[in-house]
Amino acid sequence: MAELGEGLRERKKRRTRQAIIEVAHELFHEKGYDPTTLEEIAAGADVSVRTLFRYFTGKEAIALAPLDEMGDLTVAALRRRPADEPPLTALRNAALSAWALMSPDGGSLRRYADQLLPSDEVSPLAGAVLSRLIVIGDRLAMELIDPDGSGGPAAAGSDSQPSPLVELDAQLTVVGFLGAIQVAIRTWCGSGSTDLAELLDIVGTCLDRIRLGS
């Protein structure tokens, strides 16, 4: 019974955390990021401000939580991709898997994107988003270099360090991928769509353009 109780508590915590994120992004969409207060977010999620701080360090952390989740889910999905899958294809499929888990109908993803990657203005979170994307990019590149955690393809004369060219290829692939994703999401948001299938088509087009230019 204790194990069952722990499971129930964890589920309740996840639901509360997700409610805080959803309410916050709805308020950001309606009022804007800066005017929205932590008190309003807490009230909308039916928790106290004190409880809110058990889950997040502040408003920025709440706003960026979907991006952090996207990074975690994409890295996890990338680890499950076939070893012989081309890197860009593996990254694309991993990201699509993450999006489908986060927002099956595309609605939540659209709200997150409107705030974090707006198509027609500079987000007040732009600097923080860039910092998060750099961290996510480093994690994805490391998965391409060393998918099984064994140290990766080694350079000549080295048993533990990957070849500089292997690292460079992985980093360039990830930078191109993340750039294409940002362009695709901004294009999708600019079209007014909430259809996830349309976003996937735009992502495919952007990645195809990268391949043609490589």
101-126 pLDDT, tens per residue? 888 777 888 889 988 988 777 788 99
What pLDDT does residue 111 have? 87
Using one digit for the tens of pLDDT, what is the confidence trace for 152-182? 444 444 455 667 888 999 999 999 999 999 9
From CA 140, how far away is CA 146, in angstroms rounded?
Answer: 10
What pLDDT does residue 202 have? 93
At 180 the three-state DSSP class reads: helix
Q: Collect contacts of 146-152 with beta carbons under 8 A, ≥24 apart.
A: 147/78, 147/79, 147/83
> What is the distance, to the nearest Å, from the Cα of residue 86 to the centroid of all Cα atoms in its chain?
21
Q: What is the pTM of this model?
A: 0.84
pLDDT at 69 over 90: yes
From CA 140, how far away is CA 109, in angstroms rounded?
Answer: 20
Q: Where are the domains of the chain?
A: 1-56, 63-213
- According to CATH, the topology of domain 1-56 is Arc Repressor Mutant, subunit A (1.10.10)
- Kindly report the CATH number that applies to the domain delimited by 63-213: 1.10.357.10
From CA 184, how far away is CA 163, in angstroms rounded?
Answer: 32
Tell me the β-bridge partners of 162.
154
Indicate the DSSP class of residue 155: P
Bigger pLDDT: 192 vs 2: 192
